[in-house]
Structure 1
């Protein structure tokens, strides 16, 4: 049974990933709030990744870094602190976590790291300058450390479109916005957290043994198609 570290597994996509792993993996969750799940395979460490020391963990075979931000403002209203905060959450937190656990991951069983980008890194979208900048950095890190750690540790990223989580609630706050968001996507849907969790679980698994340095756009067609 593999051991997977999930950072930010108490809410949204992170919580869905924890749920998808628990039946067949040992899961170590690191987050500020305790997850709702209670399971014999789940261990929780309360920790603010940006401000606290990360917990000591003896062994792990996979790492998923889930924290993110959706800070949507016109460029003239985005402060430098907005850019700094988004970069810290999305990039520096991931780097800090990878650096902390890289040694134990290298000693793991066919280890894998999964990070998160966004469709806004590929598709120019108004008001996304800050989040697109930080998530584009994640895509660069995915490819760079994927090359650096090959063949020992695989590194991939998922770039979801809008996903029905608390983080995206402002984008889906009424029926009209839900309808508009659905119609914007060629597949006439947006994502549910369990769909993203299924992709993360696949990338952690031995079934993805030939995949590293890749960014998987779960875009419901919005980047890939023009219909």
Structure 2
């Protein structure tokens, strides 16, 4: 049956940044679809909550507490997943992010650090994962980019540039790793995670952002999780090198940081 193609029974996934927000939602979604999941983040208490949700879905969870700003820690996750579950089929590079910063306060080191955290960490994990993924009959890699990777946004120089790089990394890695390993990305818009607490608590700002979004609402983490399950599953078996825009139909930025003119 067609709907069987959305299932992930017997599959094993690594999800980074899975303590909360998008990573936690994606881990839960993969577990709902039948996958066993290794989850990694800095905070053990957050990971414990995600792990319990994975187990409630009937799947096994492995917790790894690690500072994933260090690419070597990210690379170690691939072998850890195979040691625990015996295989690796899915890699979700979710960890990343960079705080907004005015242009003149953004140094060359800031740009380099944004690139390492948003692109280099995922690359280190994927390099380590490739030998294992090549043994899978349905290997899938999902990079979490951002709508800011294609829209200009004031004060987002480091973040937006790094996410744009991650989107193109996705296309290039897909060409390198075809046909055995599919590589796709998700570019979320404004999703109501803790990163948007300031929006959720400000009715005027939230209304403005909703009105700037064609679907007239902000995203839920499960909107992104559903896209991740699709990209991880055989249902998307003819997709690689694509960036799936989960953003409510944005055609222009809907988030600005008020700053004084130069």
Instruction: Report the TM-score, using the length of structure 2 for normalisation.
Output: 0.81
Question: Between Structure 1 and Structure 2, which shows a larger proportion of helix residues?
Answer: 2
Aligned-partner Cα distance in 2 for 1:173–1:75:
27
Q: 1:169 to 1:78 in 2, by over 3 A?
A: farther
> What is the CA distance between 1:221 and its match in structure 2?
1.6
Structure 2 counterparts to residues 98-177 of structure 1, below 5 A: 98-177=126-205
1:20 aligned onto 2:29:
yes
Aligned-partner Cα distance in 2 for 1:118–1:223:
13
Task: Report which stretch shifted further, 137-146 or 165-174.
Answer: 165-174
Structure 2 equivalent of residue 87 of structure 1: 115
Deviations 1:120-147 (A, max 9, x none): 2222222221111101111111011101
RMSD: 1.8
1:69 aligned onto 2:97:
yes
Instruction: Report the TM-score, using the length of structure 1 for normalisation.
Output: 0.93
Contact 2:148/2:160, CA 8 A, preserved across alignment: yes
Secondary structure at the counterpart of residue 179 of structure 1: helix
> What is the CA distance between 1:80 and its match in structure 2?
2.5
> What is the CA distance between 1:224 and its match in structure 2?
7.5
Deviations 1:76-131 (A, max 9, x none): 12222322222121011111111111111111131000001111222222222111
> What is the CA distance between 1:168 and its match in structure 2?
2.9
Aligned-partner Cα distance in 1 for 2:172–2:122:
14
Aligned-partner Cα distance in 2 for 1:176–1:32:
33
* Structure 1 runs of 4+ with >6 Å offset: none
> What is the CA distance between 1:158 and its match in structure 2?
0.5
Q: Which residues of structure 2 form unaligned runs of 5+?
A: 1-9, 254-262
Secondary structure at the counterpart of residue 177 of structure 1: helix
Aligned-partner Cα distance in 1 for 2:36–2:65:
17
- The one of 15, 33, 49 equivalent to 2:43 is 33
Q: 1:175 to 1:162 in 2, by over 3 A?
A: same
Contact 2:151/2:252, CA 8 A, preserved across alignment: no
Q: Which residues of structure 1 form unaligned runs of 5+?
A: none
Structure 2 equivalent of residue 60 of structure 1: 88
